[in-house]
Every structure is written in structure tokens, then in C-alpha cells.
Amino acid sequence: MSNQVRRDVFQAIADPTRRAIIALIALQAMTPNAIAEHFESSRQAVSKHLQILTECDLLRQEQRGREIYYQLEIDKMKEIDKWLNQFRKIWETRFNQLDEVLATIKSMGK
Amino acid sequence: MSNQVRRDVFQAIADPTRRAIIALIALQAMTPNAIAEHFESSRQAVSKHLQILTECDLLRQEQRGREIYYQLEIDKMKEIDKWLNQFRKIWETRFNQLDEVLATIKSMGK
DNA sequence: TATAAACGCAATCATTCGGTTGCGCAACTT
DNA sequence: AAGTTGCGCAACCGAATGATTGCGTTTATA
């Protein structure tokens, strides 16, 4: 099920729990148990989310004794930001584009 | 199945086809048939994606005769950008901290 | 008016998802 | 050495997902 399926960042952040996990450990690395305490979910459920997040390089593991600290790979978040860039251009020149679209639709109606 | 399920923007952009649709109609409104021609998927499959995207207000319909033009609601995209803001702070801070460290190292060399 | 085109909707199906339970294995603790 | 803790892994289950197929309705066209 969660084998060598190349995980996608967008698919990873689709789940609200995973987004919450990301936000939680953004500033400080945490262990699965510590993370699970912040949610209703069981440790195993959280562990699955951590696995998915790790598979797409959003998280990085750091073993310390028998504990594993999960840390956010902040650079990977920029990938989402990069995807948004194409649309950022649009909403920054919002008024010009709106005029253009309206003109296009009007001319198509003829 | 797709009834009163509160749609989520993040869930909506999880699918690669839907992201492609968003990018395709970002600049110009298009009909389902026209959109479907750009993909391998059938019209019905595309139509379902359009429905999902519309349910979370990422798309807006505009009926013209028997055709329906789907247009990107660019403002909704800002919601993703807004979520990214909390992390943007982090990666900018890290960058500044790096600057500080580098400055400190330099001044220590004197 | 008869036909075709554009589209939404419902039923169906295989696959994936998110969760639980149970287990085994290292690594600490007493 | 014996017990406890932290964790991953595999099996399993109900629900959701993405796609197809078959319809019905409205609008345009011959």
C-alpha cells in the first residue's frame, strides 16, 4: 500500500491531520509519541502519516537512541510555493486579466 | 458520495489532473469538452473534477446557452498562500539567522 | 421538426485511504 | 536478567476516490 509509491507533496498535505502535524513540528522536531499526544489519533495512525510525509521528503528522521525525531524539511514546502507562483502572477495583475477574460467571452458569444 | 461533503481546497488540489485543469483555465475560461480535449480522461471524468473544484469555490460556472464556461476563482488560491505564510516566516527567519551567523563568523575573524 | 451537441446526474466498480489491532524488535531501566 | 518503553510493520476493515457507462434534459442546427 505505502510501498515505493513516489509520494506527492500535494497529496501529502491533502489530509488535515498531516497539515496539523506539519504545523506542530515546524519549529521543533518531535517523536511520534509526543506528536500523537496532540491528536485524537493513535500512535500508529500518526506513524502512518509520518511515513507518508517522510516518503515525499517533507519530513526527515533523526534517530536518537530508541527515539526517532521527525523534523520538517522546510525547503520542501517551497515546492508548493513554487507551484503557486504561476497564479500569484495572475492575482497580482488581476484587473488586466479580468478585462481580458471578459473581452474574450464577449467575442466568443458572437 | 459528493453530496454535503465539505470540500477542502487542499484535497481538491491533491489530484494532478485537477491541478492541470486549474493551470489550464487560469487565464481563460473553458467548457468541459474543451478542457477534456487536453487530457486523456473522458468528458465525464473531467466533469467530475470540475464539480469537485467548483464545490470548494476554486471554480465558478458561467452558463452561455448550452455551454458552461468554468473559470478559476483566483482569490480562492490565496487560501493556500495564506496557509503557507506560517512556514514562509520560518524559512525567511532561517535565512536571516544564517546571515547573522555568517556575519558573526566574519566579525570574529578580526 | 428531427437530429445532433453539450452537459449533468446516477449507478457501478476497482483502487486507495485512514484507521485499528496485534505483533516483533531494539533500546533503555530496575 | 527481566521488564518496560518507543517504534515500525503487516493484516485487516469500512469509507472515500477516480473512472466508466448509461441515461435524461436542454440548446443549437439541418
A89 to chain B, any CB pair closer than 8 A? The answer is: no
Which residues in chain B touch residue A77, judged by CB atoms under 8 angstroms apart?
84, 87, 91
- Among residues A56, A84, A61, the alpha carbon closest in space to that of B19 is found at A84
- Straight-line distance from CA A49 to C1' C20, in Å? 14
Question: Which residues 3-42 of B are in CB contact (within 8 Å) with A?
Answer: 8, 10-11, 13-14, 16, 19, 22-23, 26-29
CB-strand contact A67/D, under 7 Å = yes
Nine cell digits for residue A110: 458572437
Between B65 and A95, the more confident residue is B65
Is A71's CB less than 7 Å from nucleic acid strand D?
A: no
Residue B1 lies in a domain: no
User: How many whole angstroms separate alpha carbon B97 and alpha carbon B110?
Assistant: 21
Q: How many structural domains comprise chain A?
A: 2
The C-alpha cell at A109 is 458569444
Contact, B7 CB vs strand D, < 7 Å: no
Q: How many CA atoms lie within 13 A of A22 on its CB side?
A: 26
- Residues of chain B positioned with their CB less than 8 A from the CB of A91: 74-75, 77-78
Tell me, yes or no, whether A44 and A24 share the same domain.
Answer: yes
Both B106 and B86 in one domain: the answer is: yes
Rounded to two decimals, the ipTM of the complex is 0.86
**B28 pLDDT more than 60:** yes
Domain range for A103 is 77-108
Q: Which residues of chain A does B94 touch, with a Cβ-Cβ cutoff of 8 Å? A: 74
In a domain, A4, yes or no: no
pLDDT of residue B72: 97
* pLDDT for position A1: 36
Tell me, yes or no, whether B15 and B66 share the same domain. Answer: yes
pLDDT value of position A2: 35
B103 assigned to some structural domain: yes
Strand D–CB A28 distance below 7 A: no
Residues B67 and B15 in one domain: yes
Give the pLDDT confidence of A29-87 residue by residue, as tens digits. Answer: 999 999 999 999 999 999 999 999 999 999 999 999 999 999 999 999 999 999 999 99
Say if B65 falls within a structural domain.
yes
- The confidence score (pLDDT) of residue B5 equals 52
Average confidence (pLDDT) over B78-106: 84
Q: Kindly state whether residue B50 falls inside one of the protein's structural domains.
A: yes
- Tell me which of A101 and A28 has the higher pLDDT: A28
Give the CATH number for residue B42: 1.10.10.10
Q: Do the domain assignments include residue B4? A: no
A40-55, pLDDT tens digit by residue? 999 999 999 999 999 9
pLDDT (0 to 100) of residue B104: 72
pLDDT, average across residues B54-82: 97
Q: Is the pLDDT of residue A4 over 90?
A: no
Residues A20, A50, single domain; the answer is yes
Buried b (16+ CB within 10 A) or exposed e, B24-62: bbbebbbbbebbbeeeebeeeebbbbbebbbbbebbeee
Say whether pLDDT at B40 is over 60: yes
**Exposed, middle or buried, B17 (CB in 10 Å: 0-12/13-18/19+)?**
middle
Does some domain include residue A101? yes
**Res B101: pLDDT:** 74
Does residue B15 form part of some domain? Answer: yes
pLDDT over threshold 70, residue A95: no
Region of A80 on the Ramachandran plot (φ > 0 left; ψ -120 to 50 alpha; else beta): alpha
Query: A78 touching B, CB under 8 A?
Result: yes
Same domain, residue pair A13 and A57: yes
Q: Are A91 and A70 contained in the same domain?
A: no
